[in-house]
Structure formats: C-alpha cells, structure tokens
Amino acid sequence: MKIGFLGGSFDPVHFGHLLAAQDAYEQHGLDRLIFVPAAQAPLKPADIQSGPEDRLAMLRGAVEWDKRFEVSDVELRRGGVSYTIDSARHFRAQFPQDDLYWIIGGDQLPQLHRWKDINELVRLVSFIFLERPGFPVKAAPDLPGLRLHRCDGHLIAVSSTELRERVRRNLSLDYFMPTAAIRRIKDRNLYR
C-alpha cells in the first residue's frame, strides 16, 4: 500500500490543507492518507493557539465523511515537541511493508537538513512536496537517499494565521474552511 501523511498544526484546518491532501492522494495514487496534527511544531514554537482537543475535533469533523482520509492523534498523545522522525518511526513499525510518503509544503525543502535525524528520516519515508502560494520552491538540500516527488495542485492563498485574525476581527470564515470547523470555533469561542 501507498500511505501518505500530512502533518501540521491545523490551527485551524482549512481548505488549503484539505486540497493539498486530495491533490497528493490523487496525483500519487495513494491508498490512504493520514493527517497527523502536531502537539508542538519544532520550527514554529509559538504558532499553536488552541488546545489539542479542539484542533483534533476540527480536523476529524472536516474529514469524517471522506473515507480516503484518516486522522492520527499519535503526536498529540505523545505531547511535547513533535518531531517527524518520531512519527515516521511509529508509522514504519505499524506499516513495515508499505510505501510511506510524508507530505510537506515546498517551503520546507530548504529546511529539511534542519529536521531532527533527517538521515534516518529519508530512509523511512519518501517526500511529496507541494508549492504554497508566496513560497516558490527552492532547491532541495543534498541529502543522500532523499526521495522527492512533486505535487502540482490547487494552490490556495489561505493560512491558519489569516483565519485566526478573521475570527478576531469578526469576519466570516465561510468558504475558507469546513462548516464543522467553523462550528467548533464558534461553540468554543476559539481565537478570541
């Protein structure tokens, strides 16, 4: 099987995340795609503004109807800083015979050499990279064994940061994110 993993803060999840997942799933013929919300991203230490239970509920609500997608809470349960290598080890043990693909934004390529235990990570997973609006893809680092796969797709210039600001300014979130996530934000008074 070909299994893709899309990590991130998802604070909150939005249609940019979901389209990226769908594009990677379709273009690379994945059999499964698993969203992996981070407890704390190592390269964005102050980025998370809502609790793990809210981010998990928004993400699950966004994809629960879509049988192609799953959500893993492995990083949230582990807590602390979420390193991709720890999750890759977990999933490699869980799926020892499958092809694993970690999906990243193209803006992460120049930083891959900074990822924890990157030399082991490139042995455990292949990478699918997507371009993000405003972040043109730069050259990938020279890492022995690095397997990169480009994903062209629907580039949407929306960010979780922008959506949190929209909440603070009492602007609509409609057409930016799934209704289930909007409901959770309103019900829990998030990002105020």
Q: What is the pTM of this model?
A: 0.94
Tokens encoding 155: 């580039």
Instruction: List, for residues 21-74, the tens digit of each pLDDT value.
Output: 999 999 999 999 999 999 998 866 666 799 999 999 999 999 999 999 999 999
Q: What is the predicted pLDDT for the residue at 132?
A: 66
Task: Please count the residues of the chain.
Answer: 192
CA 109 vs CA 30, 103, 146: distances in Å: 21, 11, 11
Domain boundaries, the chain: 2-188
What superfamily does domain 2-188 belong to in CATH?
HUPs (3.40.50.620)
CA 172 vs CA 87, 168, 185, 187: distances in Å: 35, 10, 12, 15
Instruction: List, for residues 60-115, the tens digit of each pLDDT value.
Output: 999 999 999 999 999 999 999 999 999 999 999 999 999 999 999 888 888 899 99
Q: What is the dihedral of CA 94, 100, 48, 80, to 10 degrees?
A: 40
Tokens encoding 190: 């998030």
Q: Is the pLDDT of residue 133 over 70?
A: no
How is 65-109 classified by DSSP, letter by letter? Answer: T-TTEEE--HHHHH-SS--HHHHHHHHHHHSTTSEEEEEEEGGGG
Average pLDDT over residues 146-168: 92
Q: Residue 62's Cα: distance from chain center in Å? A: 13
Q: Is the pLDDT of residue 138 over 90?
A: no
Rounded to an integer, what distance in angstroms lies between the CA atom of residue 180 and that of residue 57? Answer: 9
**Any idea what the Cα angle at residue 56 is, between residues 91 and 13, rounded to 5°?**
100
* Cβ contact 88:52 at 8 Å: no
